[in-house]
């Protein structure tokens, strides 16, 4: 048995339609309270670092029935759906995305479905039971004896937690193989609010899924280490609560500053435990909580020029897909054959940071 577990090829799944920034602004203007000016909305869209977003609830004609939005040029009847209606949309789209990512992960890894022993799923944008885990089992004919773990409501850093759980399962027995799937449908949680943080989240978050297989099989990425930290006195600056009209985001302006102040010593300590320092890292996967979060990480760690480009590219091309985003960035590093080792960094409610080291 290998001392360390391996992460197979990462597969990603995106909705069939994307929301360009110009159309996003039109929709925001229709759905945002009238007291928020279009100039404010345009300024937020220009600064968020997103050119187009994955949007599962967007129809082929450009309409979004969930919010009463007609296709471009057609009349709209804007509406604010309740949480129950949003959860129905989540259930449909999360299943489709999760199954697609899981199927591709199995195909690219060459792992037989019947050899899987565990399934670890992560999502924070919806709840249903039975949920995406059972949908994956049924769609891919996974063993009915497969052990399932779901990591719910952990936010943007949940991919690291999911990989850590998977590695623990794989380490328990040399024949264990664990399918990991992260899926989010953030677009169902558009806020009808005047708060700046919620206006920003309306421009930033997107939909997507990603999956991989963690095992003791040779090849793939060596999962060297994961680590966590909670930044003291920051519990109020980032939150995600269930409201009557979707899940309600709190995103404090002090998040980038708090991250920048807290993570250098933590990252250095984790790397030191592995006999490494920052200069040894070939690729950085920084969860794009927004451009300012990426800026804060780059500046506080004094990363080399270009280290942030994979993260900014995913943000620009797909938006912030919450838990699946980090895996999308690692997938980009894989297909670009970026020299290893790689470090993944993601942040979520707590305020918590998660670290991943791959060789």
The answer as to whether 165 is a domain residue is: no
3-class DSSP state of 266: helix
| Rounded Cα distance, 209 and 125, in Å | 12
Give residue 182's pLDDT band: very low, low, confident or very high (50, 70, 90).
very high
pLDDT value of residue 304: 96
313 lies in some domain = yes
CA distance linking residue 91 with residue 89, whole number of Å: 5
- Segment 6-13 shows an average pLDDT of 98
Task: For residue 237, give the DSSP letter.
Answer: T
* DSSP three-state, residue 16: coil
* CA angle, 309 then 299 then 282, to 5°: 45
Q: How many domains does the chain have?
A: 1
Question: At 195, is the pLDDT very low, low, confident or very high (cuts 50, 70, 90)?
Answer: very high
Q: Which residues pair with 182 in a beta bridge?
A: 122, 210
Burial (Cβ within 10 Å: 0-12, 13-18, ≥19) of residue 39: exposed
Contact 67, 27 (CB under 8 A): yes
Domain hosting residue 253, numbered range:
221-358
Domain-embedded: residue 14: no
Q: How far apart are CA 45 and CA 99, in angstroms?
A: 31
pLDDT band at 72; cut points 50, 70, 90: very high
What average pLDDT does range 44-54 have in this prediction? 96
User: For a pLDDT cut of 70, what percent of the chain falls above it?
Assistant: 99
What is the maximum alpha-carbon separation in the chain? 62
Tokens of 29: 């203007």
Please choose, from the candidates 221, 6, 9, the residue with its C-alpha nearest in 3D space to the C-alpha of residue 106.
9
In a domain? residue 231: yes
pLDDT of residue 67: 98
Report d(CA 211, CA 204) in Å as an integer.
22
Peptide bond into 351 cis (omega under 30): yes
The share of the chain scoring above pLDDT 90, in percent, equals 94
Residue 236 lies in a domain: yes
Residue 251 is predicted with a pLDDT of: 87
> Residue 49 above 90 pLDDT?
yes
Q: Distance (Å, rounded) from C-alpha 267 to C-alpha 261?
A: 12
Name the nearest CA neighbour of 316 among 294, 283, 336, 296: 294
For residues 72-83, give the mean pLDDT.
95
What pLDDT shows up at residue 3? 72
Domain membership flag for residue 133? no
**Model confidence pLDDT, tens digit, residues 260-301:** 999 999 999 999 999 999 999 999 999 999 999 999 999 999
Instruction: List, for residues 303-336, the tens digit of each pLDDT value.
Output: 999 999 999 999 999 999 999 999 999 999 999 9
Whether 1 has a pLDDT exceeding 80, the answer reads: no
pTM flag (> 0.85): yes
Residue 314 lies in a domain: yes
In 3D space, the residue among 315, 77, 64 whose CA is nearest the CA of residue 188 turns out to be: 64
Query: Residue 47 falls within a domain, yes or no?
Result: no
Q: Per-residue pLDDT for 2 more than 70?
A: no
Q: Which residues pair with 239 in a beta bridge?
A: 250
Residue ranges of E strands in the chain = 5-7, 11-13, 18-20, 52-54, 118-123, 147-152, 177-185, 207-215, 221-230, 238-243, 246-251, 283-286, 342-348, 352-358
Size of the chain, expressed as the number of residues it contains? 359
Q: How far apart are the first and last CA of the chain?
A: 18
Q: What is the CATH number of the domain that holds 308?
A: 3.40.47.10
- Determine how many CB atoms are found less than 10 A away from the CB of residue 339: 9
What's the mean pLDDT in 27-31? 96
Q: Identify the pLDDT of residue 4.
A: 86
Cis peptide before 253 (omega within 30 of 0): no
């Amino acid at each position: 048995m290998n001392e360390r577990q391996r992460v197979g090829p990462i597969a990603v799944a995106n909705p069939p339609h994307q929301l360009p920034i110009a159309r996003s602004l039109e929709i925001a203007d229709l759905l945002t309270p009238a007291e928020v000016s279009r100039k404010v909305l345009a300024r937020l869209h220009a600064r968020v670092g997103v050119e187009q977003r994955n949007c599962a609830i967007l129809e082929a004609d450009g309409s979004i029935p969930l919010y009463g939005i007609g296709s471009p040029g057609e009349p709209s009847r804007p509406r604010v759906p309740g949480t129950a209606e949003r959860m129905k949309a989540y259930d449909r789209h999360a299943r489709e995305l999760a199954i697609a990512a899981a199927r591709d992960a199995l195909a690219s890894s060459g792992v037989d479905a019947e050899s899987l022993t565990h399934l670890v799923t992560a999502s924070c944008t919806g709840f249903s039971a039975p949920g995406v885990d059972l949908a994956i089992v049924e769609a891919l004919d996974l063993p009915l004896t497969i052990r399932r773990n779901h990591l719910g409501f952990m936010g943007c850093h949940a991919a690291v937690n999911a990989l850590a759980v998977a590695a623990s399962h794989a380490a328990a027995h040399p024949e264990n193989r664990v399918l990991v799937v992260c899926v989010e449908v953030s677009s169902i949680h558009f806020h009808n609010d005047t708060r700046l943080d919620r206006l920003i989240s309306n421009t930033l978050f997107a939909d997507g899924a990603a999956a991989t297989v963690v095992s003791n099989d040779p090849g793939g990425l060596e999962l060297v280490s994961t680590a966590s930290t909670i930044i003291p006195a920051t519990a109020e600056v980032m939150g995600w609560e269930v409201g009557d009209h979707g899940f309600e985001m709190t995103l404090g302006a002090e998040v980038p500053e708090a991250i920048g102040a807290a993570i250098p010593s933590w990252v250095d300590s984790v790397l030191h435990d592995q006999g490494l320092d920052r200069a040894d890292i070939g690729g950085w996967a920084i969860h794009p909580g927004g451009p300012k979060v990426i800026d804060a990480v780059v500046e506080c760690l004094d990363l080399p020029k270009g280290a942030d480009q994979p993260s900014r590219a995913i943000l620009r091309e797909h938006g912030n897909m919450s838990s699946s985003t980090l895996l999308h960035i690692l997938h980009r590093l894989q297909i670009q054959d970026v020299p290893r080792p790689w470090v993944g960094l993601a942040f979520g409610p707590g305020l918590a940071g998660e670290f991943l080291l791959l060789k």
